[in-house]
Amino acid sequence: MRDLSLLPDLELALIQTTLAWHDPAANRAHFQALLQQTKGADLIVLPEMFTTGFTMDSVALAEPENGPTSQWLREQAQALHAVITGSLIIQAADGSYRNRLLWARPDGSLAHYDKRHLFRMAGEHKHYRAGDQQVLVEVKGWQVRPLICYDLRFPVWSCDAQATDLLLYTANWPAARRNHWNQLLPARAIENLCYVAAVNRIGEDGKGHPYSGDSQVLDFQGELLLEAGAEAGVFRASLNAAQLAAYRQRFPAYRDADAFTLAD
């Protein structure tokens, strides 16, 4: 059985920034410069659709599964000896378009998570296919569950109070609903007895929608460890596994959780 208390601290780097609309090459160049400030991090997190902004133009902007951004992420992860993650538009092998989070490891391998809950108020469900698989990935022994933006509103999809050490949300969450973002993130931390890290963008997108940022890291009691506000930059936080293990032992609410199964 895994002894969580023996794991090393996990060093996070969250990149909160504006995005160039529909310009993957410009965004890759922009992030490459910012990545120089993340040295020493174990896990580097970029926003949702970090190469394009949150767009419904999936056909024109999709990359193949082993396209330029996938290769770029692999290269950056290897150069920085860190995991790098964020979502982009991918045309899957079956021809469908996905809002896909890529998890690029230093050894050159990739894992991925396809966004489950598509934001129907923007028509995302008409332009992308929803994922149907939860994903649990590992870095330095820490178990991380990556999720994307609108997934935050659906606690059952996030629920896993025993196996998940860090819930990770990458987003383009608009300023009009920033209060929802700031209320839901601590709720996910408290109910799952785990750390939560969330990265949002700032600035305006090509449709004129403003984003307020509010990237943050919270502990297992929903207390803020890091709050980026509306500033652009690279923000660092360190997570302590022994503190998480001690809290779960002291307050094992997960033992009284309701059993359930997910239906498609």
Question: pLDDT digits over 23-43, tens only?
Answer: 999 999 999 999 999 999 999
Measure the CA–CA gap between 48 and 94, rounded to whole angstroms. Answer: 22
Whether residue 2 is contained in a domain is answered as: no
The pLDDT of residue 161: 52
How do residues 133-155 score in pLDDT, each as one tens digit? 999 999 999 999 999 999 999 99
Whether residue 3 is contained in a domain is answered as: no
The three-state DSSP-derived secondary structure of 89-129 is EEECCCCCEEEEEEEECCCCCEEEEECCCCCHHHCHHHHCC
Counted domains in the chain: 1
Measure the CA–CA gap between 100 and 46, rounded to whole angstroms. Answer: 13
pLDDT band at 260 (very low <50, low <70, confident <90, very high): confident
- Those residues with Cβ within 8 angstroms of residue 146's Cβ, 6 or more apart along the chain or in another chain: 85, 101, 103, 113, 135, 137, 168, 170
Q: What is the mean pLDDT of residues 50-74?
A: 98
The mean pLDDT value of the chain amounts to 96
- Which of the following is catalytic: 11, 115, 124, 194? 115
List C-alpha distances in Å: 233 to 17, 30, 52, 171.
Answer: 6, 12, 19, 16
Measure the CA–CA gap between 224 and 228, rounded to whole angstroms. Answer: 11
Tokens representing 20?
């160039």
The pLDDT of residue 221: 98
Q: Alpha carbon 252 to chain centroid distance? A: 26
- Cα maximum dimension of the chain: 52
Q: What is the mean pLDDT of residues 203-217?
A: 98
Tokens representing 212?
């307020």
Whether residue 50 is contained in a domain is answered as: yes
- Which of the following is catalytic: 48, 63, 124, 159? 48
pLDDT band at 220 (very low <50, low <70, confident <90, very high): very high
Q: Which domain holds residue 41?
A: 8-253
115 annotated active-site = yes
Measure the CA–CA gap between 176 and 214, rounded to whole angstroms. Answer: 12
> Does position 56 have pLDDT exceeding 60, yes or no?
yes
Output the domain CATH number for residue 13.
3.60.110.10
- Which of the following is catalytic: 124, 149, 159, 194? 149
Whether residue 262 is contained in a domain is answered as: no
Helix (H, G, I), strand (E, B) or coil at 88: strand
Whether residue 66 is contained in a domain is answered as: yes
Measure the CA–CA gap between 164 and 107, rounded to whole angstroms. Answer: 23
